[in-house]
Amino acid sequence: MKLAYWQYAGPAHIGTLRVASSFKNIHAMMHGPLGDDYFNVMRSMLERERDFTPVTASIVDRHVLARGSQEKVVQNMRRKKDEEKTDLLILTPTCTSSILQEDLHHFVERLSDKTPALLADVNHYRINELQAADKTLEQIVRFALESSFGKNLELLDKEKLNKQKATQKPSVNIIGTFTLGFHNHHDCKELRSLFYDLGIEINEIIPEGATLSSLKNLPHAWFNLVPYRETGLMTAQYLKEKCDMPFVSIAPFGLLETKKCLEQIQNILNSEQYKSTELRRQERFDFSDYIQYQSKFVSQSAWFSRSIDCQNLTGKQAVVFGDATHAAGMTKLLVKEMGIHVICAGTYCKHDGDWFREQVQSYCDQILITDDHTQVNKRITDLQPAAIFGTQMERHIGKKLGIPCGVISAPVHIQNFSLGYRPFLGYEGTNNIADLVYNTFTLGMEDHLLEIFGGHDVTFRETNITSKESENTSNIDDLSRLEQSKANIEQSEYRDKFVWTNEALTELKKIPGFVRQRVKKNTEKFAEKNNYTSITLDLMFQAKEQLSSKSL
């Protein structure tokens, strides 16, 4: 537990509530003080759904502290069971109420004799929101399957698990799309379309929109897809262990990773495990023609990577930071598909740090694994990339530094819940990412055009003329006074710490406005490093040569 100005992943109970509220007819009871009950407001504001959030707060107040909370919690859960007619109640404390060391297992046992109930089995002191979401989803799936088939699933006859399969066609469970996820709704729609084209039926999508009773159908699918490592991996591993179900955890992020994902699915469908099915006796699955067609004609990313617009981005430097799935996917896409130089790739998922290092170590200069936003801020400030691809926090950092930023990962903002269709996965996702990359790098060009052609958004304002300057130039016409004042302001702007010669200032003014400030910073950093106080034209060229040699 710690207090922070910014957290990339929230406390554990938020992850539990996100998963529970994604199901239908599952109600969550949060046991905590006022101040921990912001989830309902956050979800209703961001998701903008028609239904009420199925989460109730049982508030810990002074009365509870005086006589205990058992009766209050149990009464609240029974009342919600009667009001909502739920299939399952989930009780979760918060990190604050966990300090009370109450026997919440006993609370649930008192209730579960008549009402199915679970206590969220997470350590609120040791894990964060994403880890808790992953664990809670696995716990709910385990509860549903054990309720339907018994606790020793591995001892059951596989025919009993599969006897209700509706079709012999291949089918898939999509695991891990849930509420408040980063473009999860759009990604899920794109994955549905992709599997429809491949002739693979959707068996179940969990937890978003699923019910407790529908979870017993999970073993009927041929395989599971986990598009996001952060939530769903534990469930897929549990189904692999208990039901012998293979799973794919490669996120179809970009053309090359989508190809790898589909090839792994193809190998599963052609494996010995499904050799006896009626469909396998008729044909062998081959997705190569589909991959080639989608890459050439549906996705515009391959064409765009060969266009002059993308060629102009070759060698540009970028920093990538986000959750493990999106940050790793974006790093590989930028380097392998667009020729962009990633000088630093990072993630705040410290628990998945080993996997992240393995994925990106060949594609970037530096790796940063931290959940401290000040370290990310310092690294970006030191590196001064041409663009950032990160979370909302990196967008704020970029604003402060004058560096454009494209948001590619949670934490989410209202702008990440667009009404339009903006997936990040699959072939349509490649088009959205290509637009994001191009628009992020070219951000600032409009300022350059305004500076060249003039416009309403020019940076200089006549109100900057001081009264003293007006008195000294009283005999000069209005246009001359304006130009003189503008020159004085530019002189003061570039002479805060160093003395710029007239030749150097003249050369600096020739540089387009959208990169002028960065050139000034790099030149002054070079001068400070080499103990120069006066910046000459020759020194500017030396700084430029050193920067160019580093980027090669």
Q: Which residues are identified as catalytic?
A: 309
63 in a domain, yes or no? yes
Pairing of strands 26-32, 88-93: parallel
Question: In percent, how much of the chain has pLDDT > 90?
Answer: 44
Q: For residues 106 and 363, which has the higher predicted lDDT (pLDDT)?
A: 363
Q: What is the CATH number of the domain that holds 45?
A: 3.40.50.1980
Q: Could you tell me if residue 237 is inside a domain? A: yes
Between CA 386 and CA 341 the distance in angstroms is 10
pLDDT at 507: 86
What does the pLDDT read at residue 459? 43
Residue 151: the pLDDT is 65
- Per-residue pLDDT averaged across 146-154, rounded? 72
Considering 17-21, 269-273, 525-529, the range whose residues carry the highest mean pLDDT is 17-21
* Residue 455, marked binder: no
How would residue 35 be classed by pLDDT, with cut points 50, 70 and 90?
confident
**What does the DSSP assignment read for 185-254?**
HHHHHHHHHHHHHHT-EEEEEEETT-BTGGGGGGGGSSEEE-S-TTTTHHHHHHHHHHH---EE-----S
Q: Do 47 and 176 reside in the same domain of the chain?
A: no
The residue range of the domain holding 59 is 12-127
Residue 304 to residue 380: CA distance in whole angstroms: 28
Does 276 lie in the same domain as 313?
no
Query: What mean pLDDT is reported for the chain?
Result: 82
Q: Is 393 annotated as a binding residue?
A: no
Q: What is the band of 123 on the pLDDT scale with cuts at 50, 70, 90?
A: confident
Whether residue 373 sits in one domain with residue 332:
yes
| Count of structural domains, the chain | 4
Look at 14-18, 306-310, 396-400 and tell me which has the smallest mean pLDDT.
306-310
Q: Judge if 256 and 206 occupy the same domain.
A: yes
Given this model, what pLDDT does residue 20 score? 94
- Name the more confident of 454 and 391: 391
Q: Are residues 198 and 280 in the same domain?
A: yes
Tokens of 348: 């705040």
Does 306 lie in the same domain as 254?
A: no
Sign of the alpha-carbon dihedral angle for 264, 270, 272, 277:
positive
Which of 127, 10, 1, 6 shows the shortest CA–CA distance to 372?
6
Same domain, yes or no: 176 and 268 = yes
Please give the helix or strand (H or E) that residue 129 lies within, else none: helix 129-149
Q: How confident is the model at residue 278 (pLDDT cuts 50, 70, 90)?
A: low
| Strand duo 499-500 + 171-177: pairing | unpaired
pLDDT in the model for residue 434: 92
**Is residue 412 in some structural domain?**
yes
Q: Tokens at residue 65, please?
A: 């502290």
Please check whether residues 288 and 331 belong to one and the same domain: no
How does residue 465 score in pLDDT terms, banded at 50, 70 and 90? very low
Indicate the pLDDT class of residue 112, thresholds 50, 70 and 90: low
Which of 423, 449, 475 delimits the end of a domain? 423
* Mean predicted confidence (pLDDT) in 177-186: 93
- Asked which of 281, 298, 315 is the last residue of a domain, the reply is 298
Residue 167 has pLDDT above 70, yes or no: no
Whether residue 389 sits in one domain with residue 289: no
Residue among 97, 100, 108, 103 at smallest CA distance from 74: 108
Among the ranges given (115-119, 383-387, 468-472), the one the predictor scored with the smallest mean pLDDT:
468-472
Nearest-10 Cα torsion for 195, 201, 207, 213: 180
> What pLDDT does 47 receive?
83
Bigger pLDDT: 140 vs 71: 140
Together in a domain, 161 and 293: yes
Q: Is residue 21 part of a domain?
A: yes
Global pTM reads: 0.79
451 domain-assigned = no
d(CA 117, CA 424): 36
Using the predicted structure, report yes or no on whether residue 457 has a pLDDT greater than 70: no
pLDDT bin (cut points 50, 70, 90) of residue 244 is confident
Residues 224 and 99 in one domain: no
- Could you please report the per-residue DSSP string of 358-388? HHHTTTEEEEEE-S-HHHHHHHHHHH--SEE
Last residue of a domain, one of 247, 282, 298: 298
Q: At residue 402, does pLDDT exceed 70?
A: yes
> What's residue 249's pLDDT?
95
Q: Does the structure show a pLDDT above 80 at 488?
A: no
Residue 330 annotated as binding site: no
Residues 264 and 355 in one domain: no
Average pLDDT (158-187) is 78
Is 443 within a domain?
no
Mean pLDDT of all residues in 186-201 = 95
